[in-house]
Amino acid sequence: MKLAVIFPEKLPLKKARAISVINTAAALSKIVDTTLIIPNTSLSKGELENFYQVDLKKLKILYLKNKFFGIVSNKIFNFHLLKFLPNYDVFYVRHLKSAQFLIKHKKPWQKVVFEVHEIFSESLKEERPEALKKIEKLKKLETFVYENSDALVFINKTVKKFLGKFFDIKNKPKEVIYLSVNFSPPFVQKNFSYINEIYYCGSLYKWKGVEIAIKAFSMFKDKSLCLKIIGGTDNKIKDLKRFSQKLGVEKQVEFIPFLPPPQIEKILLNKAKLTLIPNIKSIHNYFSFPLKMLEYMATSNIVIAADTPVIKEIIKDGVNGFLFKTGDANSLRAVLEKVLSLPPYKLEEVARDAYETAKNFTYENRAKKIIEFCEKIKNEKR
């Protein structure tokens, strides 16, 4: 089987989706003939290997033009992709417009597998309810892709269940294959008898709930605890700094700009003990599977997370992490106080359970499941 992973965005990209696609493609390439197809504005193979700290030796990379006279467009990328389409048996893709193009231009014997991360029209409806035409157009595109792809892969059970309410996918081949963690250190027994920091790593979009975390800190009696926030753009950092000042906790909140994955791993492994996923109520969080949750767990940390449906698929409260009521700063404060009051041996048990959970979510396992699924549908008739 010859597999093509299509990613029409320039790499590297400071987004979780880029980390996921490069690691998934690398793991796939160790099992089957795999080509990652990306824009030619991306870094070279060696530079990508260095940036993401991943072995790309067996991965073929096809660089295609996506720019013409200064105009960057997926249509240009697709135009150049057209002549390479006959070279592959299966296309694995997560971008709607790329999937639409592949479905329309593939040969009858080729298969398009679409990886579903969210329902974009529903997300847009929450963000911009007034944009009726755009929502309708997006819903039409999603309907075409979801109902005409040869198969669907869902990144969690929640999005699979939700998608079936909006689109006719009843007879569609489908599989839940979770995202994975690219950290694989040995378990580290940390000293939980002294905790003075809690870490959040990731973007600073409003739905990520970092404001809730800062608000919880403003309610917390112990002012020696520091919240360390890693990631985000300069503008969002400035906004959250102002918010921290407004609540009088600017001395307890430290902002660290974006760091590449290897540096994040070192911090989580060597410095962190408590980690945070403070997501608020949002359609995004109904679907979103936070990679950082697995990264926290794989680096032997205690995870305190919002009790969204997706997170509850992985985190069992008091067993391999702790849950608080989504969007409730007071609940987060109460859970944080509870965690800090627990004896060190109990926190060590939870951290070890978290680590053992994360060990199941490797890119090697993910690649095996994707290939098994693709092989299964490769010879099926439409």
pLDDT at 382 over 70: no
pTM above 0.85, yes or no: yes
Percent of the chain with pLDDT over 70: 99
With CA atoms as reference, report the closest residue to 323 among 340, 302, 342. Answer: 302
CB 243 within 8 A of CB 211: yes
Full residue range of the structural domain in which residue 159 is found: 2-180+362-378
Name the most confidently modeled range: 12-21, 37-46, 156-165. 37-46
Q: Are residues 373 and 350 in the same domain?
A: no
With CA atoms as reference, report the closest residue to 250 among 263, 259, 237, 241. Answer: 241
pLDDT at 14: 82
Q: Are residues 164 and 28 in the same domain?
A: yes
Return d(Cα 323, Cα 170) in angstroms, integer.
Answer: 33
Q: Please indicate, yes or no, if residue 316 is contained in any of the structural domains.
A: yes
Query: Which residues make Cβ contacts (< 8 Å) with residue 312, sequence separation at least 6?
Result: 323
pLDDT at 70 over 60: yes
Q: Which two tokens stand for residue 154?
A: 């869902």
Q: Please indicate, yes or no, if residue 327 is contained in any of the structural domains.
A: yes
Q: Are residues 149 and 215 in the same domain?
A: no
Q: Are residues 202 and 300 in the same domain?
A: yes
Q: Please indicate, yes or no, if residue 252 is contained in any of the structural domains.
A: yes
Q: Are residues 136 and 151 in the same domain?
A: yes
Q: How many domains does the chain have?
A: 2
Q: Are residues 323 and 351 in the same domain?
A: yes
Query: Which residues make Cβ contacts (< 8 Å) with residue 373, sequence separation at least 6?
Result: 113, 151, 153, 173, 175, 177
The angle formed by the CA atoms of residues 354, 359 and 364, to the nearest 5 degrees, is 155
Q: Are residues 92 and 144 in the same domain?
A: yes
- The pLDDT of 249-275, averaged and rounded, is 93
Report the CATH number at residue 287: 3.40.50.2000
Q: Please indicate, yes or no, if residue 95 is contained in any of the structural domains.
A: yes
CB 301 within 8 A of CB 275: yes
pLDDT at 381: 60
- The pLDDT of 32-54, averaged and rounded, is 96
pLDDT at 146: 96
Q: Which two tokens stand for residue 337?
A: 């106080």
The residue with greater pLDDT, 265 or 222, is: 265
Q: Are residues 133 and 271 in the same domain?
A: no
pLDDT at 332 over 60: yes
Q: Please indicate, yes or no, if residue 152 is contained in any of the structural domains.
A: yes
pLDDT at 259 over 80: yes
Q: Are residues 242 and 336 in the same domain?
A: yes
Q: Please indicate, yes or no, if residue 192 is contained in any of the structural domains.
A: no
Of 149-153, 183-187, 202-206, 378-382, give the lowest mean pLDDT range: 378-382
Chain segment 82-118, per-residue pLDDT in tens: 999 999 999 999 999 999 999 999 999 999 999 999 9
With CA atoms as reference, report the closest residue to 201 among 227, 181, 226, 236. Answer: 227
Q: Are residues 213 and 142 in the same domain?
A: no
Sign of CA dihedral 38, 44, 45, 47: negative
pLDDT band at 160 (very low <50, low <70, confident <90, very high): very high
The residue with greater pLDDT, 252 or 381, is: 252
Q: Are residues 353 and 230 in the same domain?
A: yes
- The pLDDT of 123-151, averaged and rounded, is 93
- The pLDDT of 339-354, averaged and rounded, is 97
Q: Please indicate, yes or no, if residue 336 is contained in any of the structural domains.
A: yes
Q: Are residues 345 and 373 in the same domain?
A: no
Q: Please indicate, yes or no, if residue 187 is contained in any of the structural domains.
A: no
